[in-house]
Each structure stands twice: as C-alpha cells, then as structure tokens.
Structure 1
Amino acid sequence: MQTSWDIVVVGSGNAAMSAAIAAREQGRSVLVIEKATEELAGGNTAYTAGAMRFVYNGNDDLLPLLADPDDPRLARTDFGAYTAERFTADLLGFNDRRPLSREQQTLIAESYDAVRWLASQGVKFEPIYSRQSFEKDGRFIFWGGLTLATHNEGFGLAEAERAAFAALGGEIRYDCAATDLVTEGGRVRGIRVRNGAGEAGVIAAKAVVLACGGFESNAQMRRELIGPGWEAAKVRGTPYNQGDGIAMALRLGAKRHGFYGGCHATPMDLHTPDYGNLDLPHLERKHYRKICYFLGVMLNARGERFVDEGRDFRNYTYAQFGRAIMEQPGHVAWQIFDAKVDHLLYSEYRFHDAHFVEADTLEALIDKLDGIDKAQALATIAQFNAAVDPAVPFDPTVKDGRATKGLALPKSNWAQAIETGPFKAYPVTGGITFTYGGVEVDEAGGVMHENGSPIPGLYACGEMVGGVFFNGYPGGSGLTSGVVFGRRAGAGAAAWTARAAA
C-alpha cells in the first residue's frame, strides 16, 4: 500500500473531490481520505438537491451543461439570465451592510467557469422544473436565478465526482479519519489518521487539503459559537462534520476568518431524524425539507406569525427562516396552507412520511395542533385574511406584489387568504446544513497563518473557507463555492508540490 503521496485531501464531498480532480489533472499523486464508510461518503454534498447558482447570460450558456439537450420542454422554457450584477446584489442582501468580501468576489467571477469545468469532468445537469419554475401561458418560467441541478441531485454529484477522480487514477480510503496534521521544519508533511477499529497511522504527503466541512454536526460547538438553543438543531446532512479540520488548522496557527455565528439553516419536518440518513434512497432523503412557506403562513407556538413569508423568493429566505424557527419557543412552527395552493406544494409535502394534520375548517385544524395558543392562532389568521389585497393577481413566477395591508408584519408577495378547505398544517423545526466560519485562504487556496503568511503545504476549501457567507445565502451558492474553492485548492496544492519536487 502506498504510504507517501504528493497530496492528501481530507473529505469526500463536492469541494474535496473538486480539489482532488484538479490536482490529478496536474499529474500529482492524490489520496482522498474519508472518515465515513463508502456507503456514507460524500459529506454534505450527498444530502443536497444538487442545485448550483452561477452567472449565465441565457439559454446558450446552459445547453452545453445539460444531460439531455434534446428535452422537448426546452423549446418552451424561459431560463432568463443571471448576471454578475444580480449575483452581487443577492450576496449583498445577506451581508448586513458589509461590502462584498474577497471570497464573494471570487465566487461570482469564477462561478460559470467552475460549473463548465465540472461538466467537462462528466457531471451533467438538469433543469429544476419541479422546484424552480412555474408554467405560465404554456411556457416554463424560471425564477430566482437558480436553474440547474446535477443529475440525481447531490448524491448523483458525489457519485459522478468520485467516478471522475477514479478515471484519473486517484485513490480513496474510507473509514480513515484525519486526527492531526504532521509538520516538519514549519511545513505540513502529512496527516495522522485512525480507522474505526482505533488503529492509528501516518500518511506522508507534500501537501494536505482540508475539505472536511464545518462544525454543524458538533452540538457543543454550535451552542458555543452560534448560540444557545442551537444544540437542539436537526442536522440536515452528515454526522461527521464535527469541526475537526478547523481545529487541526487552528492548532497550527491558522487565521480564523468569517462569521462563526452564522450558518445555513432550513425549515425541516419537526420529526426529521437528528442527522441525515444516506441509507434512504436519494428521493427520500430530501423529503424532510419544508420550504413552501411562501404559499401560506407560518405560526409559532404563541400563535403568531414571525417572518414575512413572501419577502422574497424562497431561494433567498429559507436559510434565514430556518434560523428564525430555531429562535421561536420550542424551536417549532407550523406552516399552514389552504386548498388553493395544495397543487403548488413541492413533492416533499406529499411524501408518504410527511407529517401534517388536515381538517375541513380552520377551527378544526388549529384544534389539532399541540402546543400552540389556539385562540391567538385563529385570531392571527383572521387578521391576516382581512389584510390581503385581492385586487392584485397572484403570480408565483414573479414577486407579484400581492401583499397584506395594515399588518405590523406584512406578507409582501403571494398573499392569499387562508379560507378554502380542506386546510393543512405542517409542523417544522430548524435544520442546520453548514456553518459559515472557517479559516482564511489565499489566492491559491493556501491556509493563512495569523502572522499573515500562508502555512506551507496546507490548503483548504469548502465549508472550511470563511468569508463566503454571512447572514444567509442565495440558494445553490454553497455547492458552487465548493467547486470554485476546491478547484483552486487542488491546483494550488499541485503547484506547490511541483515546486517542492524541483
């Protein structure tokens, strides 16, 4: 068994595999090590919907990426365009008045090239007809700047990237957890590892790329760094992202970077398992998400609305609203819909294991909800219904301006009275996907020391990179960020090892 490599990549998610592929393209010997077994590999990537946000100017930019460019629906599809200016505005909307960070500028500038590069590695994409478009006047209208997802969603992405890496001659070792970095003479020289049986060892390398996620699966770190109550959050993805890579880098003096109090969260079925479950088929793994709140109202245990459900397209609100649910009493809320919108709810609302209650009247529905102030809930819905302006047409393909009037907390778009039975209520909580705080990296993906110099031989990508997101993010940016910074880290590590060998 080979014991010395040019590059060891820690992790096997999208960012890790992007780094590994980029390094192999440069002819370097690359080993990927993964804490999980092969069946549970893929990091958080395997749990995602596979959507990627990137700059494009129209249909012609998207067609080369598609698995089926002959899909007959394409002839009546309006993808629109998603410019660098729109991407900039979307990111700034979550920055709490911060200017674009260097990392965000890189994400925008390299997003399309990164996705084209990924497609060149055999990863194919499909239009997200079921979740990102509505049919209007016989045409599919895409909204929110997000159009494509990888074939077979995140699980398919993880599989395709592993296949591409294998085709390039790369090797992956599973059940191989990184425990610490090995250094010599101020340079990273390898990684200490341990398998599930407790057997320890050292793998020598000229460079190490840390791509093993944030700290979202570590309840203690969530409480300490994000805040009280976050220890109770459901973890949408892998249980293995315990902050190990961040801890290893910090022990070498790496510079903390980004917003450690921030995270990507999303509304989830209240009865979601504590961690994601890759044992389920990929179509079942996604059913716990509940992100159609924009079609109804959300009430907390006090029976009150607590967010403007129609503030923006759900691509731009679900990460923040997942956090908002965590801040409610008991970390719980109810999404309430009437029959007018039932056909518009995503498939996870109709999944056989989706939890909800149903009744022919609002009174009967609210009476079935445990732990809610029933009188206040009915009063809240009555006030909401009275405030809806019916003169504005409802149109889910645009921010339609159909709003409430006179409420302290408005609903700014897609407001319809909750009045047509039968009615449904879905109990939800907050599920955490990934954290925002990490380490600082340079233009080559090298991890920066607190003294302002790169740590020789140490690189990072994916959730490890701080400064990409702050108080939320536009949906689909996370996977794109993984490719952008993974590709950089892999190429940077390859260039470093080439110089070291000269």
Structure 2
Amino acid sequence: MSIPSLVDILVVGSGNAGFSAAISAAQTSPSSRIILIDKCPESWAGGNSYFTAGAMRTAHTGLSNILPLVNNVDNKLAKIIDLPPYKMTDFEKDIQRICAGRSDPQLSKILIEDSRETIQWLKDIGVRFQLSFNRQAFLVDGRYKFWGGLALKTQDGGKGLIEDHKKAAQKHGVGVYYQTAAKELHTDPQTGAITGITVVLNGKSKLIQTKAVILAAGGFESNSRMRAQYLGRGWDLAYVRGTPFNTGDCLEMAVRDVSAKQVGNWSGCHATCWDANADPNTGNREISNEFTKSGYPLGVMINTQGNRFVDEGIDYRNYTYAIFGRAILQQPDGIAFQVWDSQMIPWLRSEEYRDGVVKKIHGDTIEELAEKCASEGLKGKEQFVKTLKEYNQAVYEHRKENPRAKWDPAIKDELSTQSSSTGLSLAKSNWATSIDQGPFMAVKVTGGITFTFGGLGVNPETAAVVSSTTNAEVPGLYSVGEMLGGLFYGNYPGGSGLTSGAVFGRRAGRAAAASITRLQARL
C-alpha cells in the first residue's frame, strides 16, 4: 500500500498519544483522510508506550466509579477491595508536590479534569482496562489495598494498549505507515499555516500535502548526544528503557522549520531503576517492562562504595521510581545493589524479579552476599556490611520505642530508622524492616531512561504549537505526548504520562479535525 501524496491530517508517531490523536480526529471528521506515520518498522510499533506497564492515573470517586471500566473483577472479588477515592484535588496536590510547583497550571488542570472522561473514551474505542493488583495493591489481612492514587492499567500492559489502539485505528479508517520518517515541515509563506511535510521512505524523500500535522514522536531519550547536551554529563551512558527510535528528530524539526517555542524541563527526565544486565541501547520487546526493578521500598539500595544514597521509603513507589534512576546514575560507576532478606523476598513482584529475567545474587550471610556482590562490581565490601548492620541497629531501636507499630506496605506506615536513641544520617522513612534473616538476595541495577520532559509550547486547550517568533499558534501544527512541554518537572506522578498522551492527543485530534471542517466550510 503506497502512502498518499494528499491527506487532511497527518500524525507522526505510533505511541499512545499518536493513536489517540488519529482516532479522535477520525471520530470528529469521519470524511477526512487521516494517516499516521512512524519511522520505525511495524515490528517496533508503539514507541515507548509499548514498554510501559500500562498504568493510567485518573481522578475518580472510588471503587464503584472504577469497576465499570475493568474486566478482571467479579462481585466476589469486589467485596475485598479497598480503593479510596482519588479526587481531582488529590491529583492536583500530587502533581504540584511531585513537580515542585513547576507544572504549567493550565496543562495540569486539563490533564486532571479530563482524565476520567478520557479513560472512558479509551474504553469506548476498545482499550481494555484492569485493576492493577500486581503493581498497585497489596493483600493485607485478607483485603486488597490500593495505594498511591493509582489503580488502573491496560490489559497486557503497553503491549495490550498498542494492540488495542491499532485495532481502533483500523476500525476508524486511519491509514498507518511504518518506516516513514518525518523530515521537514512546509508552511504557507503568507499565513504560516502548515501545508505539507516531507517524509523519507525507502531512502527517498516524498512531499505529502496536508492541512494539519500532529507531532507525537516522543522525546530524545534514545539520542546519546542530546541526553548529554540537555540532561548533563554522564547521561550519554544511561540505559535506554524503551524504543531506540525516539531520537528527538521531530523536536529539532519543529524548532528549525517553524520556530516552535521550547518550554519545560529540558534537563529533566523519567529515569527508573533498571536491570544493569539489560541491553544499554534499547528495550527488549519481549521482556519489556520486566527490566524495571522497583522493589526498593521493601529493602535498601547500596552503591558500589557500600553506602545507601536515597531514602527508599520517603514516598510510595509510584512517586519515586522516576527519579531514583537518576540517583543511581549519579553514584560511582552508575550502578547500585538492591538488597533484601528472606522476610521481604516473597513480596517482590514476580514480573520484575522472576528467575530467567533477572540475575540474582544470593548469600546465606550478609558477609557472603557482600563477597558475591564484589564479583559484580561492589568495591566497598566492608562498608556494605557495616551499612547493613548500622541500618539494622537503627531499625531495632525504632521498634523498641514503637512496639505496637505494624508493617503495612499499602500505607505510609512510619516504620523508620529514626528514634530518640539512634538515627541514620539518611533515614528510611517508611517500611523499614531489618535485613537480618538469611538467605539474602541482591540485584544489580542502573538507571534506565524512559522519557524526557522538555518539549514544545502549546495552547493547552488544543495542543496547538506556539511559535517562539510570534508567540501565536502555528496554524495546523499540534504537539502531544512526550513532545508536549511544561507538564512535568524533575519528576511525575506515576501513570500520568500515558493519561497525558491520551488527554492531549484526543484534544489535538478534535481540534485538527474541527479546523479542517471550518476551512472546508469557507471554501
């Protein structure tokens, strides 16, 4: 099937944001000719969305508001689920807290207010949702307790999400073309409106005339040069968690061709704890998100010098995992060891720590574990042992002062290392249990970069790109997903990235289709 030379709307990028935009445009204007392109081969469809766990954060009023969305809860199971409401005010507080008050208030307001409606829209077009028992709930005292304001995931994670999007795009008549790279934007010299885009396929350039372009091609996380340039020294060595095709081409194209405004946290990114034995240059389509190693709240993380370097219990995992990858990369050698004893090993999620995927380091004693970690890069064996013994002593002292305290992974249980008699210089604020019951286990981790935060300035209502020259919209150009700048700073609330892609992708698709309808009405 040859790619057409004349279309109404062209979407660049086959991730969640791109498909959301294309499907939304097709729903808004069924008669318009809409295509979606991606420079990757079809076997790599989905961008970084494919590599996610499929978590989507949404405001809701409680379990009864969520159950109609999911397909994995029957009446019997529903009776033992504790899922508190996550109000818009809760979402707002989280995004402002996690992003240090820097998130664009208009963008975050739209993300929050549109979240539940957009999740319903995704379900209506065929995206399958489930309650995320494996990642966001713990079975405590016979009840599933959800925590951290996050409950939903797509069936089969990112793989299932992209599968469902592809089916919906086909159903709505969206033409999808792979191995087709966006190269240059063309505009009307008088109005500045988008008139076309040059693409490259099979090594040859081709001009496609179009009235609107929606950019959803991801950030620059797979470009080692841009990582070092914008994120800083050493970031060229970060492991790539997802697709190797997100190299920032479309960001640079938009800045070059239409002077798109650059906004947001260009030195910031989502970087998580990642298996140090994974391929450093690309994610694995089969193993996918299983290389994530987010079991650190159940234990401790120790660098190659033998020292802890983060408060593993400072907040729920889904508020810290996107920054702890950066913390690991800032350590000597850019690696660390996650450590647990036999009390916590059974609580580790199988999809992240199952045999055959992760290389586990075992020891019957802390000293033996240190010796074995030394063969994997640990340089401070004696300090490693000292750190764990000092940590354990701090836990014991806290327990003496708080004999009724109970460990509960589903709440901030305040089991810590701090007491009136003893306190570590770096606390573990919650879920601090002693690491003293063998056998012990460690896993070697590094930082895996997921997506970058810097992007293009847009009109929050429509995701229309704003020009840095005129400070006005570039007619017919939109930016969504990772390419939309100003929403996340330094960190982000887990699950809000996919929600953002769908919320603003849907808005951009509607706006692009509506603008074409208005244009046709004037002709």
TM-score range with shorter-chain normalisation?
over 0.9
Aligned to 1:66: 70
Q: Do the aligned partners of 2:102 and 2:489 also contact (CA within 8 Å) in 1?
A: no
Per-residue deviation, 1:137: 2.1
Aligned to 1:486: 505
Q: Deviations over 1:157-183 (max 9, x none)?
A: 011011111101111011111111122
Aligned to 2:311: 308
1:415 to 426, 432, 441: 432
Whole-Å separation in 1 of the counterparts to 2:519 and 2:83: 46
Aligned to 1:270: 276
Are 1:146 and 2:164 matched, yes or no?
no
Per-residue deviation, 1:286: 2.1
Q: Deviations over 1:330-375 (max 9, x none)?
A: 1100000000011100112123120121010000000111332111
Q: Do the aligned partners of 2:72 and 2:131 also contact (CA within 8 Å) in 1?
A: no
Q: Could you say what secondary structure the match of 1:343 adopts?
A: helix
1:394 to 398, 403, 407: 407
Q: Which amino acid aligns with 1:236?
A: R
Aligned to 2:517: 498
* 1:182-221 matched pairs, under 5 angstroms: 182-185=186-189, 186-195=192-201, 197-221=202-226
Per-residue deviation, 1:279: 4.2
| Equivalent residue pairs, number | 498
2:100 to 84, 96, 103: 96
TM-score, normalised via structure 2 length: 0.93
Q: Do the aligned partners of 1:287 and 1:351 also contact (CA within 8 Å) in 2?
A: no
Are 1:168 and 2:172 matched, yes or no?
yes
Q: Which amino acid aligns with 1:226?
A: L
Q: Deviations over 1:25-57 (max 9, x none)?
A: 012221000111111111111100001001000
Q: Do the aligned partners of 2:103 and 2:486 also contact (CA within 8 Å) in 1?
A: no
Q: Could you say what secondary structure the match of 1:369 adopts?
A: helix
Aligned to 2:5: 3
Q: Could you say what secondary structure the match of 2:314 adopts?
A: coil
* 1:449-460 matched pairs, under 5 angstroms: 449-450=467-468, 451-460=470-479
Aligned to 2:238: 233
Q: Deviations over 1:235-275 (max 9, x none)?
A: 11111111111111111111111010100010001011124
RMSD value, Cα: 1.3
1:426 to 424, 439, 443: 443
TM-score, normalised via structure 1 length: 0.97
Q: Do the aligned partners of 1:299 and 1:334 also contact (CA within 8 Å) in 2?
A: yes
Whole-Å separation in 2 of the counterparts to 1:488 and 1:456: 15
Are 1:475 and 2:494 matched, yes or no?
yes
Q: Do the aligned partners of 2:104 and 2:486 also contact (CA within 8 Å) in 1?
A: no
Are 1:137 and 2:141 matched, yes or no?
yes
Q: Do the aligned partners of 1:322 and 1:430 also contact (CA within 8 Å) in 2?
A: yes
Q: Deviations over 1:125-172 (max 9, x none)?
A: 011111111112221111111111011111110110111111011110
Q: Which amino acid aligns with 1:377?
A: F
Whole-Å separation in 2 of the counterparts to 1:423 and 1:334: 12
User: 42-51 or 1-10, which moves further after superposition?
Assistant: 1-10
Q: Which amino acid aligns with 1:322?
A: G
Are 1:45 and 2:49 matched, yes or no?
yes
* 1:13-28 matched pairs, under 5 angstroms: 13-27=15-29, 28=32
Q: Could you say what secondary structure the match of 1:377 adopts?
A: helix
Aligned to 1:296: 299
2:455 to 412, 434, 438: 438
Whole-Å separation in 2 of the counterparts to 1:20 and 1:269: 34
Q: Do the aligned partners of 1:40 and 1:278 also contact (CA within 8 Å) in 2?
A: no
Q: Deviations over 1:366-406 (max 9, x none)?
A: 01113321111111111111101223211111100000021
Per-residue deviation, 1:71: 6.3
Are 1:318 and 2:335 matched, yes or no?
no
User: 103-112 or 422-431, which moves further after superposition?
Assistant: 103-112
Are 1:351 and 2:351 matched, yes or no?
no
Q: Do the aligned partners of 1:92 and 1:100 also contact (CA within 8 Å) in 2?
A: no
Per-residue deviation, 1:449: 0.5
Q: Which amino acid aligns with 1:386?
A: Q
Per-residue deviation, 1:215: 0.6
Q: Could you say what secondary structure the match of 1:61 adopts?
A: helix
1:403 to 412, 416, 423: 416
Identity rate, percent: 45
Aligned to 1:259: 265
Q: Deviations over 1:300-355 (max 9, x none)?
A: 11111100000011000011111111111111000000000111001121231201
User: 484-493 or 365-374, which moves further after superposition?
Assistant: 365-374
1:331 to 330, 334, 339: 334
User: 179-188 or 354-363, which moves further after superposition?
Assistant: 179-188
